[in-house]
Amino acid sequence: MTPYHPPVWLRGGHAQTIYPKFLRHAPQPYRRERWETPDGDFIDLDWNLVDTASGDGKTPLVILFHGLEGSSQSHYARALMQALQAVGRPGVVVHFRGCSGELNRLPRAYHSGDSDEVDWILRRFRALFAGQPLFAAGVSLGGNVLLKWLGEREDAATGILQGAAAISCPFDMGACGHHLGRGFNRVYAQNFLVTLKRFSAEKLKRYPGLFDGQRMRRAKSLYEFDDVVTAPLHGFAGADDYWRRASSKPWLGGIRVPTLFINARNDPFVPDGSLPEKHQVPRHVLLDYTAEGGHVGFVSAPFPGRIDWLPQRLLGFFNTKR
């Protein structure tokens, strides 16, 4: 286990959550692939530049599910794909519907509990890469939906993945959603709302009357937004119903695949009290709860810092499960 030690100049959940946005790197080059979904929509996948056809067919493939409003250019996605490329391993970032820079076709989009979508995606990877080790990681929202899938599918998931990891996961959507509505945390919620409202406005242009546009524009919290947009678009009665049914925490006992949880105890998105404890998870689930790190922060080294601790922690864990 490689412990996380943040530099002295960077302490506190807020700093470590905001700072990675200012780590300026050139955009990560990818090879894009589009998959048509069974219901007539599409998702876009961005592959790192390692040829999946090279090697002996036994090289592990790492699949990444991004967080809310994330993409393959999110700092954590770039860092992981670059780390994989440096050691000659293929990696792919799966964009949830509408997150690849192009509006998806259907009224629905993506949400934190869409484990059926993850099931279709991972089963397709398994069919395409038969006999090749597959590992999956999910960040924040992506971590929650991945863990929900693992817990729901139980033993069936072991025939698809050799290992999994969830980073900065909001295990209890209700606890995390209300936590983001308090104090300074509301700054993060407002940042999300800007892009969520922009995306929703485009949806409304394509599908007039899809939801109450005035209520959407007036939403001042993620709860209000989910209540008027996310929940009804995806078959939930409202925000409370969505947050309850989408949470991964009730499903953790069903996880059968070796899985790593990485969370910081000072994460401003995820209250410390909502983190699962050792007695609440199966023995093959490893809990790595750091004192610092914020929300997918984990910046290390002297200023301006590096973001390579997280990908090295993930690859180190996956290497033990091959």
What CATH superfamily is the domain 13-171+247-319? Alpha/Beta hydrolase fold, catalytic domain (3.40.50.1820)
Alpha-carbon 302 to chain mean position: 27
**Catalytic annotation, pick one of 114, 172, 227, 267:** 267
Using CA atoms, how far apart are residues 249 and 171, in angstroms rounded to an integer?
5
**Catalytic annotation, pick one of 66, 114, 295, 300:** 295
What is the rounded average pLDDT of the residues 270-276? 97
**Catalytic annotation, pick one of 140, 221, 248, 300:** 140
Task: List helix spans (H) across 129-265.
Answer: 141-153, 173-179, 186-206, 213-218, 222-225, 231-233, 239-246
Using CA atoms, how far apart are residues 124 and 106, in angstroms rounded to an integer?
21
The per-residue pLDDT for range 21-59, each reduced to its tens digit, is: 766 666 779 999 999 999 999 999 999 999 887 656 789
Instruction: Give domain limits for the chain.
Output: 13-171+247-319, 173-246
Confidence label for 193 from pLDDT (cuts 50, 70 and 90)? very high
- Specify whether 295 is catalytic: yes
Buried b (16+ CB within 10 A) or exposed e, 132-152: bbbbbbbbbbbbbbbbbbbbb
What is the rounded average pLDDT of the residues 156-161? 98
- Specify whether 140 is catalytic: yes
DSSP 8-state assignment for residue 74: S
Confidence label for 11 from pLDDT (cuts 50, 70 and 90)? confident
Residue 226 has pLDDT above 60, yes or no: yes
